[in-house]
Amino acid sequence: MMPRRTLLGLAALCLGAAAVFALVRTDSPLSRFRAGEPFRIGYAVEPPYAFLLADGTVTGEAPEIALRIARQIGIPTIEWRQMEFGELLDALEARQIDVIAAGMFVTPERQRRALFSLPTIHVRPGLLVARGNPKDIASYHQVAERNDLRVAVLSDAVEEQIMRRLGVPEIRLLRVPDALSGRRVVETGLADALLLSEPTVRWMARTEQLGHTDMLVALTDSSDIYGATAFAFHLDAGSVREAWNAALRLYLGSPDHRALLAGLGLSNERPPDPDSPR
């Protein structure tokens, strides 16, 4: 039988460990957000992923899901931070925002800088070209192979990374801050095409924002690298990402999720299987 002093010492040790564990849990990012610390959501305007209504309300596929998931995991206070797409990951790393809700694609390069949630939708590549497609552009691979083409891409977007992987030189790339700026450089002839995801170009067509350009769904083959959108968290925000994924797994494919996609013109996009590995 253990001496009473030893038992008391072990009890004190256990109580101390429990106190430390409780302190860590209380001081975790998720606990602070649940206690009312503002949860700062960074986004960039690119419909239908994220955009503003006439009254200034932030909406779109990513913000709407973010609001629902934040509510589900007990986060009461949301702050929206609008910035250019190329600034989002830097802002996340600098702790100026707590999550990115902007239809950001998961890539190996970005996974070195952020923790990504389960994907929300898988999308295909799209193109904006001059009216009538005078350069007869049909695919990203064709754009890369033809030295007579100059292309516009959103700064730091996955389309820019694809062009780099396909060997397109700097002189043929024109970076723009948003889709409407990209449309203008195509209209003026500064670029022959703007590379965007298919949901973005379909949204522009749906809302009569094509101007003097035409929408194309890029031809694809098995070697094309495109992908899935997801939310991005700081590398040390594992507790937030874990709770977020648990709620997201229940939400994806639900009637509310499918209604949201349909309302944004995304019903043709494929929601991922929430039980499949990321």
pLDDT tens per residue, range 173-198: 999 988 899 999 999 999 999 999 88
The verdict on 233 and 110 lying in the same domain is yes
The verdict on 134 and 88 lying in the same domain is no
The verdict on 105 and 189 lying in the same domain is no
Residue range of the domain that includes 172: 125-217
Q: Which of 179, 197, 217 is the endpoint of a domain? A: 217
The verdict on 55 and 110 lying in the same domain is yes
Tens-digit pLDDT profile for the chain (278 aa)? 444 444 444 344 344 334 333 333 445 889 999 999 999 999 999 999 999 999 999 999 999 999 999 999 999 999 999 999 989 999 999 999 999 999 999 999 999 999 999 999 988 889 999 999 999 999 999 999 999 999 999 988 889 988 998 999 999 999 998 889 999 999 999 999 999 988 999 999 989 999 999 998 887 654 455 688 999 999 999 999 999 999 999 999 999 999 999 999 887 555 555 444 33
Q: How wide is the angle at C-alpha 108 spanned by C-alphas 239 and 84, nearest 5°?
A: 80
The verdict on 140 and 114 lying in the same domain is no
194, part of any domain: yes
- Closest by Cα among 158, 197, 161 to 179: 197
Instruction: Report how far apart the first and last C-alpha atoms of the chain are (Å, whole number).
Output: 52
Residue 2 is predicted with a pLDDT of 44
Beta-sheet strand order (sheet of 193-197): 173-176, 151-154, 193-197, 125-130, 213-217
101, part of any domain: yes
- Quote the CA–CA distance of 80 and 246 in Å, as a whole number: 23
Residue 272 is predicted with a pLDDT of 52
Number of domains present in the structure of the chain: 2
The verdict on 173 and 50 lying in the same domain is no
For 92-107, write each residue's pLDDT tens digit: 999 999 999 999 999 9
Residue 16 is predicted with a pLDDT of 38
Helix (H) or strand (E) holding 82: strand 78-82
The verdict on 254 and 241 lying in the same domain is yes
Q: Which of 163, 184, 217 is the endpoint of a domain? A: 217
- Closest by Cα among 235, 251, 195 to 218: 195
> 81 by DSSP, 3-state: which?
strand
Residue 101 is predicted with a pLDDT of 98
269, part of any domain: no
CATH number at residue 209: 3.40.190.10
The verdict on 92 and 160 lying in the same domain is no
The verdict on 55 and 179 lying in the same domain is no
The verdict on 46 and 80 lying in the same domain is yes
63, part of any domain: yes
Rounded to the nearest angstrom, the gap between the alpha carbon of residue 194 and the centroid of all alpha carbons in its chain is 19
